[in-house]
Structure 1
Amino acid sequence: MEKNEIAAKFLDFAELECKGSSALYQFLSVKIAGNEELLQLSSYARRGQPIPNLLFGAVHQLLLAGNTHELGHFYPSITGKPKQVEGSFSSFLDFCRTYQKEIIAILQEKLVQTNEVRRCAYLYPLFCYIHKKTGNSLSLVEIGTSAGLQLLWDQYSYSYGGNRSYGNNTSVVHLSSKVRQGSMPELLDSAPPVASRVGVDLHVSDLKDREDALWLKALIWPEHQERLETFDKAVKQFSKSPPSLIEGDGVSMLKELAAQAPSASTLCIFHTHVANQMSRKVKNDLLQKVSAIGRKRDVCHIYNNIEDRKLHLDYVISGVSYAETIGETDGHGGWFDWHVKDCAVQEKRV
């Protein structure tokens, strides 16, 4: 990838992802976009990976691993009294020079596999909506599952701006979010029943492996202490009832995975912030395979980043195909839009 293309990705990352969420990453992204040396370093990233996330994750992992450097004084995840971000770039550049070999190794080896547990806060209303439409238990297939923490959405509790909570109120994991635009979803007090669940990823992150766990923590942005605490709690929940996780290509394996789901259940295929790492051909293949499954059974497909950044729900019930655009979502689950209507916005016979 050309340096000007990489620079554009960092500028987009600063404006679309970091603004209002990470002052450190926003400031550094703009600086990196104008620095030839760091753009060259970033070019070692694996093809198809989100380059800014990968570079920042590599640096963060090395800091969390105990490599002492003045850059750590700007990271809230490293120090309790971080310095102002405006003075961070020279330290960041020096750190990248000092640990260039280690950073390149991470860029070439790792995948961006953020396990953002709070995204479950907008998945919970969707699964409630699907269950109310079908009346069936749900069979879950998550593509790009990473460590599988989102597969356990029914084992967390939720709140949406009020005192009332939903889901599993005995869980150690409580997730709060809010509806930014649209109406408040109709939520079930208890989670819909899950008949089966399986996650698939090119590289399954093993939470019992120190390096894998450290990498997942490194992908959490330095200012986001609440996200880190939630991650640790979700890991504890995971240890109580770990789901089935398979290493492989989720799109290629989709037909096989769908066939294993109980026929009386509603099959729910879902992935968040994964399709941006797929080629156009793979995206089309995924959509075609979901459509083919819908000719044999009821199926729902929850996703974003195929055509746009919005959250979508496509589903087939009794041979009729529907498509709904749910709305924009915060990448870390802090808010979401809910534009679901009582009737589908698009319908066609399969």
Structure 2
Amino acid sequence: MKKLLMIISLLLLVFTAGCSKQQAADVPAPPAADAAYSVTDDAGRTLRFDHRPQRIVSLTYGTDEILTDLVDIKRIMAYSRWAGDSEISFITKEQAYTVGRKVPENTEAVYALQPDLVVASTATSSDLVRSLEGLGVPVYIARSPHNYQEMCDKIRGIAAAVGEKQQGELMVQKMDTHLQQLQKRLRQIPSSERRVAVAFNFTSAMGRRGDLLDSMLTMAHVINGAAIVADENKSEHGMPAISKEQVVRINPDIFMLPTWNYNNKQDVQGYAYAVMNDPAYRDVKAVRNKQIKFVSDKYRYVASQHIVDAIENIAHAVYPEIF
């Protein structure tokens, strides 16, 4: 009998210990406190943080988009003025509604939100940056990329600033995968059959050699007509507009026209009609073959992880037959 009681007692001890271990395993470990860290922004300035920012204000449409995929949207206090405008921003109306604020580039308006990080760009007013920093607000300045690699670097830099390096790497990996899949499709196009495109804004042809649109056109296996004449237009006074005569000489296969009525004064359809019926362009292949394409300005002026979407959209406009 004593022997039986001892066996039962041992079994109870083993069972109790097992349950205790299981209960301990089921209880999540408390989250580690954020460690202090520092980052260098794209203007070469060092920012130091005691913890990951929780009240972030974005001043540009590109940083709106990057931040939305990097952090919990509750950490974003305000977007830039263009958030939710589908012709220039990839932020949805629902996301813009969730954040609830669009802030102008104004010191008082930004400071009123009590941000612990403001994400700006190299195009942001230096006076605004100095004013905010004078009030103790950290400002991270992000670059304006000229190519795919610089866009990846921009994302990694912002990810480091908000304490989300791993998420930044995942974003870049997703971009790389998408780009590889796209390039596999585009490699079907022989070099001899690549088409020439000229993109226009409401003033003239755009997309000079070395800028982001030029890089995206190249990655879309499209010959950038504006880059062909870029060297001709170099002068000590800068780069004058590409003339109609130069466009005619390029004789592009495709015209890419703007779509964003940014100041409510642009007539998108009227501009397209004017280009199609301009006597100067009458014999240009793009007009003669009615290859006038609208490519949304959110793709032409992309400033975020959506760069591969932009390359794909351009390629689809120029080579619809391979999609």
Q: TM-score, normalised by structure 2?
A: 0.35
Rg (Cα) greater in structure: 2
Determine which structure has the larger strand proportion and give its number.
1
Determine which structure has the larger helix proportion and give its number.
2
